[in-house]
Every structure is written in C-alpha cells, then in structure tokens.
Amino acid sequence: MPINASGAPARAESVRPDGAGHAFSRAVSDGAAHPLCNERQNQQLFNYEKRVKDAFDNIVPVLRQISALQHEGNFEERAQELARKQLGFELPCQILADAWVNQLDMRGLYAWCMFETYRRFSDDFFTRQDIDTDEDFQSFLLRCGFHTMDVSPCADGRLAHVISYVLRLPYREVRRKSYAGAMFDIEDSLEKWIETEFFRYREGRPDTADKPTRYLKAVVYHFSSGDPEHEGCAAHGSDTRRASEAGRKSLYAFQQAVENSFCCGASIDLLLIGLDTDTDSIRIHVADENGKIDIDTFVDTGKVYAATSGMNADQAMVTVEKTVRAASSGATPGMIDLVCRLVTNNISQLEYVRRNYRGAYPDIGHAERFIGVGIGFEEIQIRNLTYFTYMNTVEEGAADLDVGIKIFTGLNVAHGLPVPVVIRFDYHGHVPGARERAATSCRRVAEALEARYEELVKKGLFHTLQAIRDCAAGERIEVLGSSVYAQSSVGAH
C-alpha cells in the first residue's frame, strides 16, 4: 500500500523529533475549538475528504484479497462479488478470465480500479456538490474592490485543496491555475485579464468597467515547517526563500505586462501567499503603498490562531484585524478586509488539521494517487490526491511530467504498481468542433506520453485514462478510453 497514509506517520514523526514548527497545534487544548472556526463546514469537508480518500485507499486491500483468490475455484465470481461489495463496481471480466493462463494482471486491475474510482469521484463532484460554497463571496470580493480573484498555486498535490479547504473560497468563483513552483504563464494570464475586462465592458459582469474594482492575482508558494529542506517545493530546491521570491517575481512580471501592454492606468493588484503544507497555516504578504511585496513581512495564521484561540469570537476578530493591519501598511481598506477574511477562513482549516490530523498531516510528503495531465480538473479540491501537470503538449510539459513520474516511481513503481495518468481536456461545448479538438488533444497527448515513458509502458507500469468535459455546460466527464484493456490483453497472451 504505497499510496495511502499507513506508512506515513513514521516519516512525519521522524522529521519532527522536537515537535518544532507546528506552534499552533500545541497552543490549544484538544478539547475546545477555535472561536472563529466554522465547525459545521469542517465536518462537511472532512466527511467529503474521508469518503474520497477511503475510496482510493480501499483499492489495494481489496486487490490483495482478490490476488489471494486467483487460483481458487469460482475465482471470477468471487472476485466480482468482493469488488462490488467493497469497491462498489465490477472489475473487467477479460482480465479476470485471463488469470488462469498466467498470473492475474494486477497492474492492469490496479489502474482500472484507480480510473473507475476517479470517474465515480468526478461524477459525484459534478452532480452532488458536496463542498459548501461561500455564496456571498463574489459580492464580498466586489465590496473589497476586486472583481476577480485569480490564484496560481504550485502544481504540487499538497496544494490541490488550497481554494476549497485552506482558503475556504468557492471554487467556482475563484480562478485556479496551478504551475510547477507557482511560476504561472504570463501570456496566458494576460489573455485571461483581457477576457475578464472585456466581459466587464461588454456584458457588465461581474461588474461594469466604470467601477473602480481591480483584478487580483495571487500566487501560493509552499514550504514544510517540519522538514523544510526536503518537503518544500521541489521546483525551488525545497528553499522557502527562493520559492517566495519566484512567486513575487511572477506577480511583478504579470503586473508589469498589464501596465506595459495597455494604456490609461491599466494595472492589477497582487497577493503573495505561502502555505505550510504540513499544517495548512499560511503566510499572507500584502503589497505596500508602492506596490512592493516584502518577503519578510507577512501575516502568519498559525501565530494568529495561537494568539486568539483562548478569546471569544469578537476579541479574536479584533486581534485578527489588528494583526492584518500591522502587516499591511499602505493596503486599501478593501484589501485589509479580504486578508482578514482569508485569515479567519484559514483558522477553520487549522482547526480542521488539528482536530483530524493532530495538527500536522501524517503525509507531509508526496502521496498523490494519480497524475492529472491536460486542461481541467476543477473537481480536484482534495489534498495529495493528484499531481497536476496543466499542459497542451507533452513537448512543453515534459519537465513537469518527469517530476511527476519521479514522484510516482517512488510511490508506485518501486512497489510494482503502475503510474495512473488521467489525461483530461475540458472544452467549451458551444464552440463548434471544440469537443472533437479536445478528443484529438487527448489522443495526441496519450501517444506522446506512451512514447516518452515507453519503458514503463512495456512493463505495464504506465496506464492512461482519456477523458474530456464540456465545462461550459457544467457536465460530468466523458471517458473516451483507457490503456488498461489494450495493455492487459498484450500482457496475457
């Protein structure tokens, strides 16, 4: 079971011999919740996280049982019964039927189960909406003086929950686009900025262009308080300072690109956020009156949590605001309000981690379940589930992909399990031909991946699922195919 948390606590403990780095988890007793914590939301989010992760982590134990049965009579029936009962779906008959010839193709079965679990989880997300959204957020954001919040976190799976959990923001109303090291694509962001402002001018949404609201771009870099030199951001050599400086540099570059490309005072506002992936506490760096961001000046929510946990809610709010003001000289009142909201939202998440994970995740390192490649994945709002590589082509995404394969070589391949890769392209169904182009992209990327990781493919250690989604219609994903059948029949004969 290389991918569930069972082996992780030892790892997590070993890097924190003195318990350093997780101040807030020691600051409060186990009993009382923080006065600003949204306990109902915490419960709901935990139920959701647990249900999803359990579904993925159930695969290996069930397959172990099935493996043990493979040479017994009635194997196919018994395996299907087990799968139905414990996983909720049936296994592909062909793989089971071929088991008597050689061995059961466990790699194919594993990939098949991962993909089926992913499909069910994704369908669930788009049909049930288990994550509570902050309905008031868009209007609150406008009151703060921002018409758009565009967040680029690092693509690391330990940040995949940053919108819905860490910041407690509605995923539909905040743009998220992840990049390795949070070093986002300036040209892509410029296009998004143009599109956003265009809608304000042409259709008055979310507000009309004459309103003095701004586009807010945020970057989320990350670090590990427990094991800063190993479990930080791989793209920046696990160096917190480098990670934060790179995030700031990207923000400045985007701002300058807007200012240089358009006249009449066009600009954007910036926010730099650092995430401690062990504890989910954040550092918020607010720009000063000259628009400069100081790497060493920030609001540390772990400290705010500790300082306010004994207070009542009103006292705590006053302290939050005081702390935010102290770290945000020159910020607009709207920015201060927004940062206060982010701090209080995050306090719920700190309570969440304290209550459910004793203040720090057992899996402080990588423990993603699959790699997600392409454009889309709005449904991935859960920590350490997916290593993202947003890309159009393997040619451009190769470096990020190689990092993902390296991670999964440790997580899966070293244990004889394949790397499950979900290739996904979202499209706008109202654009003629868009569905076909998304399907073509899936096939092209699948071929390029199979060529790049040929050695793994040959050994059955690399499997892909191809899926597309009409994101304009808000529909479920459409699965186009998977390498599992092809591969398993090759292996069996």
Q: What is the β-pairing status of strands 269-276 and 478-482?
A: unpaired
| Minimum separation from the CB atom of position 445 to a second copy (A) | 8
| Minimum separation from the CB atom of position 195 to a second copy (A) | 6
Cα separation, 94 vs 488, in Å, equals 8
Nearer to a second copy, 322 or 428 (CB): 428
| Minimum separation from the CB atom of position 204 to a second copy (A) | 10
Tell me whether residue 98 is one of the annotated catalytic residues.
no
Nearer to a second copy, 74 or 260 (CB): 260
Tell the burial category of 455 from Cβ atoms under 10 Å away from its Cβ (0-12, 13-18, 19+). Answer: exposed
| Minimum separation from the CB atom of position 249 to a second copy (A) | 9
Nearer to a second copy, 261 or 312 (CB): 261
Cβ-proximal residues to 299 (8 Å cutoff; 6+ apart), any chain: 283, 284, 286, 323, 324, 327, 328, 339, 343
What one-letter code names the amino acid at 38? N
Nearer to a second copy, 134 or 269 (CB): 269
Nearer to a second copy, 117 or 441 (CB): 441
The runs of H, that is alpha helices, within 235-359 are: 240-261, 301-308, 313-326, 333-357
Nearest to 347 by CA among 303, 295, 285: 303
Cα separation, 106 vs 113, in Å, equals 10
Nearest to 215 by CA among 247, 162, 254, 167: 254
Cα separation, 486 vs 117, in Å, equals 20
* 86: enclosing H helix or E strand: helix 75-87
Tell the burial category of 117 from Cβ atoms under 10 Å away from its Cβ (0-12, 13-18, 19+). Answer: buried
Tell the burial category of 321 from Cβ atoms under 10 Å away from its Cβ (0-12, 13-18, 19+). Answer: middle
| Minimum separation from the CB atom of position 285 to a second copy (A) | 19
Cα separation, 162 vs 153, in Å, equals 8
Residues 191, 196, 201, 203, CA torsion sign: positive
Nearer to a second copy, 394 or 442 (CB): 394
For residues 8 and 362, the answer to whether their CB atoms sit within 8 Å is yes
Nearer to a second copy, 2 or 429 (CB): 429
| Minimum separation from the CB atom of position 393 to a second copy (A) | 4
| Minimum separation from the CB atom of position 369 to a second copy (A) | 27
Catalytic residue from among 57, 98, 105, 156: 156
Nearer to a second copy, 114 or 373 (CB): 373
| Minimum separation from the CB atom of position 342 to a second copy (A) | 27
For residues 12 and 361, the answer to whether their CB atoms sit within 8 Å is yes
Q: Strands of 419-427's sheet, edge to edge? A: 386-390, 370-375, 419-427, 462-470, 478-482
Residues 10, 11, 13, 18, CA torsion sign: positive
| Minimum separation from the CB atom of position 283 to a second copy (A) | 24
| Minimum separation from the CB atom of position 203 to a second copy (A) | 6
Phi-psi region of 217 (alpha: psi -120 to 50; beta: other; left: phi over 0): beta
Nearer to a second copy, 68 or 264 (CB): 264
Neighbour tally for 203: CB within 10 Å: 9
Cβ-proximal residues to 51 (8 Å cutoff; 6+ apart), any chain: none
- Residues in touch with a second copy (CB under 8 A): 186-187, 190-191, 194-195, 197-198, 201-203, 209, 252-253, 256-257, 260-264, 266, 392-396, 428, 430-434, 437, 444, 448
Nearer to a second copy, 42 or 255 (CB): 255
Number of H helices, E strands in the chain: 17, 11
The runs of H, that is alpha helices, within 129-261 are: 137-143, 186-203, 240-261
Residues acting as catalytic residues: 156
